[in-house]
Amino acid sequence: MSLKLFDLTGRRALVTGSSQGIGFALARGLAEAGAAPVLNGRDPARLNAAAEALRDEGFRVETLPFDVTDHAAARAAVDRFEAETGPIDILINNAGIQHRAPLEEFPADAFQRLLQTNVASVFNVAQACARHMIARGRGHIVNICSVQSALARPGIAPYTATKGAVANLTKGMATDWARHGLNCNGLAPGYFDTPLNAALVADPAFSDWLCRRTPAGRWGRVEELVGAAIFLSSDAASFVNGTVVYVDGGITASL
């Protein structure tokens, strides 16, 4: 009986930034739990390739290309999808970018891109989906946070600021929308071997430091985020709201 709480059969899950990396892994994991993933990205060719890869595994997949940093485009795309295809039951706000530079030299335009992609996109897509979820009296929103929601490292202060903002925006969503039947939570990855971290993975000195700093002693694998994502997207999390689940090998627990 309790396993049924994690069953996502019959639900659609929009995953932003899902052409590769964490987004793609989460879309596949939700599909394995029964959901029909809706992939999002700005590059139609990469998006279609990702969708075909999942279809080749036997999953029912849809695509919804739009720019998550464009508020009007996000709302129009979600409204059109809801009207023409059906309800979006789960939203995974995953789209994000990184830029590394000393804070005293950090380019202002790069800071603005981080704000738009990492923070504004979460507001844009969540608001667009929540309007429909509220009308139905249910829905799950999972915002991808980071260990940088709680910690900082040299050279990525603006990124840290954006991920702290996402964690607090998640609390705000829960505060406003839980009364309407929505579950709004965050999922915070530690250091995972993804395209976004390719430069760090390729740096022996950083990898050595990370493995010594992380109690688990290694980089995370994207598949290890799937269980928490399924939980937060399912009825098993029916009374979980405004929390951030850290999947980080213990890095935020240890000095």
Is 159 assigned a catalytic role?
Answer: yes
On whether the pTM is more than 0.85, the answer is yes
Query: Residue 246: helix, strand or coil by DSSP?
Result: strand
CB crowding 215-234: b at 16 or more within 10 Å, else e:
eeeebbebeebbebbbbbbb
Q: What is the pLDDT of residue 64?
A: 97
Phi-psi region of 142 (alpha: psi -120 to 50; beta: other; left: phi over 0): beta
Report the CATH fold assignment for 2-247: Rossmann fold (3.40.50)
The pLDDT-based confidence of 1 (bands split at 50, 70, 90) is: low
Q: What is the pLDDT of residue 196?
A: 79
Percent of the chain with pLDDT over 90: 95
Phi-psi region of 241 (alpha: psi -120 to 50; beta: other; left: phi over 0): beta
The single residue of 59, 123, 159, 231 carrying the catalytic annotation is 159
The pLDDT-based confidence of 124 (bands split at 50, 70, 90) is: very high
Taking the domains of the chain in order of start, what are their residue ranges? Answer: 2-247
Average pLDDT of span 62-86:
98
The pLDDT-based confidence of 197 (bands split at 50, 70, 90) is: confident
Contacts 24+ apart (CB under 8 A), 3-7: 4/235, 5/234, 5/235, 5/236, 6/33, 6/230, 6/231, 6/234, 6/235, 6/236, 7/33, 7/34, 7/234
Average pLDDT of span 89-102:
97
Residue 192 has pLDDT above 80, yes or no: yes
User: Of 2-6, 58-62, 136-140, 231-235, which range is least confident?
Assistant: 2-6
Q: What is the pLDDT of residue 234?
A: 98
